[in-house]
Amino acid sequence: MSELRTLFDSQTCTRKGLCPVTEIRNKSDPLESHSLYFECHGQGPEKIIFIMGLNSSLFAWLPQVKYFSSKPEYSVLVFDNRGVGNSSTPRGPYTTSAMAEDAVVLLNYLDWTAPRSIHVVGLSLGGMISQELAYRIPERMISLTLGVTTPGGHIWTNFPPVWKGLKALLRMIFMKDPADKIPVLLDILYTNSWLDEKAVDDPQGRTNREVETESYARRFAFTRPQTLVGALSQQCAGLTHSVSAERLRQISKSIPKVTLASGDHDDLVVPENTRYLKKVMEEAEVVVFENTGHAIHYQRHREFNAMLERVFKEGRERI
């Protein structure tokens, strides 16, 4: 695995590799094999799996991996969804249910199978996958955190409701140079006022825009370029995602701690989706980050990590 480089501290990486996945396709072509690239960081008893969103690799979890793997009580699992990063790209289109099955296979592969033993955190498309995962293995979960996500519905309701977000996603599909994508990404993932602020603790006194531009450039340098098939197939998963109100109620009742998190200025998944999830998932807690865009885990990483630690603690206390 030496050719697969990691942005994370190698001292915290206890295991990395490729998990084989065999997917049932259809009667005429029943099986297709692909692989998921994963990394485990830390060796603590508290197990966390982070599930990333559309067209993003596991490196998008950098602030969370660095924070939680530095604490002795946590083990952190991050992976590339099918069709992105160092995972393979099987034929599309994908579905969130099939991508959730990928996560089940990975958890089984790593023997993360004990009852009430894992915390699941999913953002955006990763939150949609996490809903399907929670429906499949609720008995394994201590807590479930769904961030900036939606229960889905019809294809036409799953498009980003803000034209700026939809236009940006369509533009980036056909951009070959990663440098061209960075300003577009920043514009749809963060609030402009925050981007123009001075970055906290930056020794060079740069703005958040400057810091994040450098951060994304480094991430792209370490990540294998996504194929067109991978990008479009992941988008199909988001567009066709749908979890019924009844299934959401069942998820909410079967997991000790459920948290719904969002920013208040999201151009990709509007906060109304979080309010709907809360209406259906009555036991869930809602956390809204002010002056925050879609990338809540990056823009407000200190607050987001603190929220997760509290959620994990409250989940354990409810077992």
Which residues, 6 or more positions from 299, have their beta carbon under 8 angstroms from its beta carbon? 189, 190, 191, 194, 208, 263, 289, 292, 293
Q: Hey, is 311 helix, strand or coil?
A: helix
* Per-residue confidence (pLDDT) for residue 180, from 0 to 100: 86
Q: Are 17 and 87 in contact (CB under 8 A)?
A: no
Task: Give dist(CA 97, CA 257) in Å, integer.
Answer: 22
Q: Do the domain assignments include residue 5?
A: no
Output phi, psi for 66, to 5 deg.
-60, -40
Q: Do the domain assignments include residue 4?
A: no
Q: What is the pLDDT of residues 73-87, one digit of tens each?
A: 999 999 999 999 999
User: Nearest to residue 41, comparing CAs of 79, 82, 87?
Assistant: 79
Mean pLDDT for all residues in the chain? 91
Q: Do the domain assignments include residue 36?
A: yes
Stretch (H or E) spanning 155? helix 155-158
Q: Do the domain assignments include residue 3?
A: no
Q: What is the pLDDT of residues 110-162, one digit of tens each?
A: 999 999 999 999 999 999 999 999 999 999 999 999 999 999 987 766 666 65
Please state whether the peptide bond connecting residue 93 to the residue before it is cis, i.e. omega within 30 degrees of 0: yes
Q: Do the domain assignments include residue 286?
A: yes
* Per-residue confidence (pLDDT) for residue 239, from 0 to 100: 92
Q: Is the confidence at residue 201, as pLDDT, over 80?
A: yes
Which residues, 6 or more positions from 204, have their beta carbon under 8 angstroms from its beta carbon? none
Q: Do the domain assignments include residue 228?
A: yes
Q: Is the confidence at residue 6, as pLDDT, over 80?
A: no
Domain coverage including residue 102: 13-317
Task: Give dist(CA 101, CA 103) in Å, integer.
Answer: 5
- Cβ count within 10 A of residue 218: 13
Q: Do the domain assignments include residue 197?
A: yes
Alpha carbon dihedral 96, 228, 148, 214, in 10-degree steps, equals 140
Segment 272-298 mean pLDDT: 96
Q: Which two tokens stand for residue 87?
A: 């995972």
Q: How far is CA 270 from the centre of its chain?
A: 17
* Per-residue confidence (pLDDT) for residue 61, from 0 to 100: 97
Q: What is the pLDDT of residues 37-56, one digit of tens each?
A: 999 999 999 999 999 999 99
Task: Give dist(CA 170, CA 37) in Å, integer.
Answer: 26
Q: Are 262 and 289 in contact (CB under 8 A)?
A: yes
Segment 250-272 mean pLDDT: 95
Q: Do the domain assignments include residue 46?
A: yes
Segment 253-257 mean pLDDT: 98
Q: Is the confidence at residue 2, as pLDDT, over 80?
A: no
Residue length of the chain: 319
Q: Is the confidence at residue 1, as pLDDT, over 50?
A: no
Bigger pLDDT: 27 or 81?
Answer: 81
> In this prediction, what percent of the chain has a pLDDT beyond 70?
90
Q: Is the confidence at residue 94, as pLDDT, over 80?
A: yes
* Per-residue confidence (pLDDT) for residue 8, from 0 to 100: 79
Q: Domain of 175: which CATH number?
A: 3.40.50.1820
Q: Which two tokens stand for residue 24?
A: 């049932």
Bigger pLDDT: 16 or 158?
Answer: 16
Task: Give dist(CA 82, CA 96) in Å, integer.
Answer: 11
Number of domains in the chain: 1
Q: What is the pLDDT of residues 162-197, one digit of tens each?
A: 546 566 666 777 777 878 889 989 999 999 999 999
* E strands in the chain: 13-24, 31-41, 46-51, 74-79, 118-123, 141-147, 257-263, 285-289
**Residue 224: exposure state from Cβ atoms within 10 A (0-12, 13-18, ≥19):** middle
* E strands in 52-113: 74-79
